[in-house]
Homo-oligomer: A and B are copies of this chain.
Amino acid sequence: MSEPTTLAARLARFAISTPQENLQCPSREIVHLSMIDFIAVARAGADEPVARIAREMVLAEEGRADASLVGSDVRVPARAAALANGAAGHALDYDDTHFAYVGHPSTVIMPVVLALAQKTGATPSALYDAALIGLEGASRVGAWLGRTHYQIGFHSTASAGSFGAAMAASRLLGLSEAQTIHALSLVASRASGLKSQFGTMGKPYHAGMAASNGIEVALLAQAGFISRPSALDGEQGFAETHAGECNNAAFEGMGEVFIFGDVQHKFHACCHGLHACLEALGRIIAEGGAVSGQIEMMSVSTNSRFMRVCNIASPTTGLEAKFSFRLVMALAVLGYDTAALDTYTDAICSAPPVVALRDMVVVSIDDTLAETESVVTVTDKSGVQKTARYDLSDPLPLAEKQARIAAKSASLISDGAAQQLWDNVMAEQTLPIL
């Protein structure tokens, strides 16, 4: 086979011709966990306004009963299901994050493979193969576009995600490399999404847009659609017009080494900026070093970036509580489940024991810490200090990750449903259903 001359050709070769044995790698175990995490989060988010509005729009169009829709018993066309399910998966902002990608991979890719596997009757093994292809592809393209692309205003989840979605869809539909090149080139014209939508329904909707874009272009390419193979990395292509950094190192070892496994799952239903703090505090709590009633003072040091993000000193609403170092630390000490959505209420913000502990917390800046790091110190009334440091980028052992995703999904969708989901995904015997 000839050497690919465009990025679209290189990505198409990866998507279509990566041998199945290469896909039996450590990252595939993470794909299982991310599938469980995605399905639990999407089911929990299915009644959020953005998820409901997107679902009702696609239900109103009706159409072939090809793919399941979270929150409904009615099936719809695969493209439509991916649109609504992607929005549902990101509605709570509780889905996984890949830092090199600068985006949320599973809420874009899982809706694609779930819908198309159901439509085509693919095997579970083919579904997870395509999922890994899409998740890896989105992560690599996101890293290739780089932080500049994101910082200038593009929502990489949606932009890079559209390319990953096209790769996953092309693999699952059994496209040729040549057809996949056209799918990827066309999606360069479909990939969009502005970060200025953050804080509105626009943000989660972008995930659905990217997922549905991937299915749409793969179906068109399967039918013979011709587009411009240089539309991704050529003159006036996507990278050039969208402030892409074109970090070609992002593609090193693609197909042999998988970077998707670095994905981070959220284990607290609050701002990601609070997670390292909660993990560090959790270690002190686990060692008996932070018992309510015996605490004199708590402190957390963090990168200054979070001062404007999640440092509301005295929150009064459940939403504000999700952006408050002081409040979430009080909740953790008092044993509230910071992974549960319904922990964060307006009432909890004024509960006297919470307020008392909250007021013992001092938040300070330490710019020697990475953005993923926090240091927590708890001083008890006898003057004894316990200190713990946590860095979200330190790898979590697989067993611990599994245990925490099992606990998170149980908290989101009930113990029974979570167990059933876990067994289904781990067995790879039948297709998982949203």
Q: Which residues of A are at the interface with B, using a C-beta cutoff of 8 A?
A: 49-50, 53-54, 56-57, 60-64, 77, 79-80, 152-155, 158, 185-186, 188-202, 205-206, 209, 216, 219-220, 223-228, 230-231, 234-238, 240-243
Give the number of times this chain occurs in the complex, counting copies. 2
- The answer to whether B202 touches A227 (Cβ under 8 A) is yes
Q: Which residues of B have CB within 8 Å of A242?
A: 241
- The answer to whether A200 touches B228 (Cβ under 8 A) is yes
Q: Which residues of B have CB within 8 Å of A227?
A: 197, 200-202
Question: Which residue, of A56, A194, A197, has the highest number of chain B Cβ atoms within 10 A?
Answer: A194
| Alpha-carbon distance between A202 and B228 when the two chains are bound, in angstroms | 8
Q: Which residues of B have CB within 8 Å of A192?
A: 189-192
Q: Which residues of B have CB within 8 Å of A79?
A: 61
- The answer to whether B152 touches A236 (Cβ under 8 A) is yes
| Alpha-carbon distance between A139 and B321 when the two chains are bound, in angstroms | 46
Nearest-neighbor residue (CB-CB) of A77 within chain B: B61
- 20 A-B pairs besides A61-B80, A185-B200 with CB distance below 8 A are A49-B224, A50-B225, A53-B224, A53-B225, A57-B223, A60-B64, A61-B64, A62-B62, A63-B63, A63-B64, A153-B237, A158-B189, A186-B205, A189-B192, A189-B205, A192-B192, A194-B236, A194-B238, A195-B236, A199-B228
- The answer to whether B56 touches A196 (Cβ under 8 A) is no
- The answer to whether A153 touches B62 (Cβ under 8 A) is no
Q: Which of B60, B154, B223, B235 touches A53 (beta carbons < 8 Å)?
A: B223
How many whole Å from A287's CB to the nearest CB in chain B? Answer: 44
